[in-house]
Amino acid sequence: MGVPLSQVSCSMNKINLKTPVACMDIDSQYSFTPQCPDELPVPHGDEIVPELNEQAKFAQYRIGSKEAHPVHAIWFATPEQPTLSKIQDDNVDVRWPKHCIPGTKGFEQLKGLPHPSQYDFFVWKGIEPDMHPYGSCFHDLNEKLSTGIIEFLRDKGVKTVIVGGLATDYCVKNTVLQLLNAGFETIVNLAACRGLNPLTTSLAISQMKNHGAIIIDSCDVLNTNPAFVKVTSLIR
């Protein structure tokens, strides 16, 4: 994460809690950690688990997402067409190293998180070779094909979502913007996120904030806010 936590202002006084609350663990997979150095290692990406589990204590519903990319995706970077070079197609934008291929270590959920089957709602995305979405709420870049997250949250009457995961500057940012656009009060827990690149992470935090996200340094701030109560449940 590129921005010292102390530089990010916490605006908890703006939170107007309307229960129920959901939390989200976005793409918390080994491909985005230093444990998979040839994939998309996010510095300290493997350190978010305790904070993801902590924020889940404030949520009635826990949602997860994983990237699940095929071995023959069209957007894989090559020596000739490196990472971040542009690719022209309807549902891809830039090239990336291979990552999150089912059956590999990188696809696995970080140790200490629940098994996908234990979540209240879970999404696998990017399974088509020519589709690489970022936000977890839509399968396509044009945001037409819902993954069902928004509908699930609305069905349960959720108004507030606490978000963490990897990476702050890509999938977390896009998911947060989608949730805000759908009308949810969205809290980004920085201690539960890490970014790929310091500059894009800092820009992502500003962008999320400008769109109305509430940025918090960690769950400590929820502990001291009487509007938030811890809930107990089997997977927390």
- Binding residues (CB under 6 A) for ligand VGL: these are 27, 32, 40, 67, 96, 166-167, 170-171
Pairing of strands 86-89, 92-94: antiparallel
Q: Is the CB of 110 or the CB of 221 nearer to ligand VGL?
A: 110
Indicate left, alpha or beta for 112 from its phi (over 0: left) and psi (-120 to 50: alpha).
left
Which residues, in sequence order, are CB contacts of 33 under 8 Å at separation 6+? 41, 42, 45, 46, 110, 166
Least separation in angstroms between residue 20's CB and ligand VGL is 26
* Shortest distance in whole angstroms from residue 134 CB to ligand VGL: 6
Among the listed residues 208, 147, 203, the one whose alpha carbon sits nearest the alpha carbon of residue 173 = 208
Q: Which is nearer to ligand VGL, 134 or 184 (CB)?
A: 134
| Smallest gap from residue 96 Cβ to ligand VGL (A) | 5
**8 Å CB contact between 177 and 169:** no
Residue 114 vs 126, nearer CB to ligand VGL: 126
**What is the C-alpha separation between 52 and 49, in angstroms, rounded?**
5
Nearer to ligand VGL, 58 or 96 (CB): 96
Distance separating alpha carbons of residues 219 and 85, to the nearest angstrom: 37
Exposed / middle / buried, residue 86 (Cβ in 10 Å: 0-12, 13-18, 19+): exposed
d(CA 140, CA 220): 35
Query: Could you tell me the smallest distance in angstroms from the CB atom of residue 118 to ligand VGL?
Result: 21
How far is the CA of 170 from the CAs of 43, 44, 57, 106, 148, in angstroms? 14, 16, 25, 17, 20
Helix (H, G, I), strand (E, B) or coil at 235: coil
Cβ at position 76, least distance to ligand VGL in Å: 11
Minimum Å distance from CB 167 to ligand VGL? 4
- Which lies closer to ligand VGL via its Cβ, residue 167 or residue 221? 167
* 40 vs 158 by CB, closer to ligand VGL: 40
